[in-house]
Chains A and B, each alone.
Chain A
Amino acid sequence: MTLHPLSARRYALTVLVWAAVWLAVSVAAVAVGSRPWVWNSWAQALDYLRDTLYGVATASVVGGALALSGLAFQALLRNPLASPYILGVSGGASLGVILSSLFVSVLLQPIFGFFGALVTVGIVYTIAQRRGRLDPYTLILTGVIVNAFYGAAIMLTMGLVSPETRGDIAYWMMGNIRRFDLQWGLAAVVGGLAVGTAVIFAFLAKGFNLVAVGEDTAGALGVRVDRLRHVTFVVASLVTGAAVALVGPIGFVGLICPHLLRVLLGPDHRRLVPACLFFGAAFLVLADLATSVLEGVVSPPPPVGVLTAMAGGPFFIYLLRTRWRKVAKVQ
């Protein structure tokens, strides 16, 4: 892969176009989601609007955060199937959040989520490394096993609590955006982290590009691959953990969004990073809108996480059949 110089104009255009896509989707979601056709009173219209705005805001920050994490994992692990959900990072964050809310404090959920995510990345990365190289098969399999382990740990927790709490945990694990107790503060934190992540990754994007060509090449060109990895993993874990604390594990956003964007924009991470932030946001806003609209048809509607997982499963298989072979052959 050759790196064309990226003109400021082209960069600005990428940011603006994808920001416009996100904005358009969000405005449409607010317009449709606040149910203007049901009119009772101003107070009720405001409540619907508040619910919808919260949904759009939360879906945006979480979607952006997860898409960026997915992009970074795929770049640095050089693996098209890598994403926070597949690697078990979301699972680790979930376990942290559940343990925190049951046994420590609801307020510490994001911090426990972060540690759960970070520990998982550490485990997966260490196990999948062989003689300084990352084996793509081992990496994905490690993710599968780590996920299974966390699944068992969560089930153990569910076995220890009352049937009602058991139901709550099961429900939370499906990934939900709308809620009764609006968490504007946490949503703002996740939003800040997502934007911060985008800024940090924007600076690291050249490194991502070089690592994608090859670790040796990147090293030869002066990229300190190890340090790049460490910074990226910590940042991605932090933002994933916070996102999971806010909405529960929502799968496959980090897998689908970066790949769709690569098809549209090509492999240059300098453009992919800002595009991922906005496209991930728009993607999850659309998914949340779908559940909100579905509520008119089926009540209760399926949780957002169920929708994304249903879309993501087939997409994963598609990637396995197309991109995976290339990677597996190369390495």
Chain B
Amino acid sequence: MRRYDTVLFLLCGLSAILSAGCGETEPPEMDGGDALRILSLTPNVTEMLFAMGLGDSVVGRSTWCRYPPEALALPAVGDTLHINLQQVIALEPTMAFMITGRTGIIRGLEARGIRAVALRSDTLPEMFESIRTIGRETGREEAARRLIERIEADLEAVRRRVAGRPRPRALFAFPMTIGSARIMVAGRGTFVDALLEVAGAENAFPDRAHWPTVTPQKAIAMRPEVIIINATGDSGAPDRIEAIRQAWANWPSIPAVAAGRVHVLTEAYLTIPGPRVGLAAGRLAEAIHPEVKEGRP
């Protein structure tokens, strides 16, 4: 027992020293990115970094980071599941940001002397907190505050555009590549759920859930009035989009199908919780309230 206590005491002390090291003493402000070398392992983090003016300090990205276009010029090192550590070491990053719940990758990077920060972005508040954390870690708190303000203003502008309109029940879903046994939909509480709310709709999926899958039976029972399918990448090809439309046409009792309100949107940014969520909410609003786009009252 005593030994256990000693270990615990030491650990507490250690973590106190560590948190003091990275919390209270601000990392030196480094403009031009001479010493600050950032590795971003998630698409939305890459977008946040560039939006905060840290693009020049980013030295590496994940395979899935495709925006902004400048990011494509950076070397890709895999993702949080499969990372090429040799390549990471060669890039000599001082700091790494990623959305992950896995401590293994954090420990692995920390063991190589890289300050690794795990962020969360399942919800809008978590996304804002991630921006604040990046600002704190990089000494760009002011840029973080400005970015958050800008995003909030973007969202508010969309809210104003749809204010006072009826709020249809909307289902936001991903298509499936091989066989469409089930589709993955945005549950209540996700950031896409929040964007639907901003865009003037009510999530047709009734329960709090992360990204649940639903069967045709469940989709029929939910009776969504608008269906938004986010078909990105290969699944956004014209023949695939046609197949998605045909799949939904099998279920005419769903109000969205009967009213021709199944929208296949190909924009990848709709599900990236980053600086473009305002843009995403606007795109959703146009699909949910087509009259908004046409400028009708």
Contact = CB atoms under 8 A, between A and B. Distances in A.
Most buried by B among A177, A292, A295: A295
A179 B213 contact: no
Contact of B253 (A43, A165, A167, A171): A43
Given A98-B178, A179-B181, A181-B247, A47 B252 contact: yes
A146 B243 CA distance: 34
A180 B247 contact: yes
Given A47-B253, A181-B246, A301-B215, A248 B220 contact: no
- Report the interface size class on chain B: 35 or more
A152 to B, nearest CB: 16
Contact of B64 (A47, A98, A162): A162
A118 interface: no
A138 to B, nearest CB: 33
Contacts of A222: none
Contacts of B269: none
A219 interface: no
Given A43-B252, A44-B220, A300-B215, A179 B233 contact: no
Contact of A171 (B82, B176, B220, B258): B176
A177 B215 CA distance: 11
Interface in B192-247: 212-221, 223, 232-234, 243, 246-247
Interface string A177-190: 11111100000000
A88 B241 CA distance: 34
A46 B232 CA distance: 32
Interface residues of A, number: 42
B279 interface: no
Contacts of A102: 177-178
A50 B214 CA distance: 17
A38 B222 CA distance: 12
A172 to B, nearest CB: 5
Interface string A231-267: 0000000000000000110000000000000000000
Contacts of A177: 181
Given A47-B250, A178-B216, 16 more contacts: A43-B252, A44-B223, A44-B253, A45-B253, A46-B252, A50-B250, A51-B217, A51-B220, A159-B82, A163-B79, A169-B178, A172-B176, A177-B181, A178-B181, A295-B217, A300-B212
Interface of B: 64, 79, 81-82, 174, 176-184, 212-221, 223, 232-234, 243, 246-248, 250-254, 258
Closest 4 CB pairs of A and B: A176-B181, A181-B247, A43-B253, A44-B253
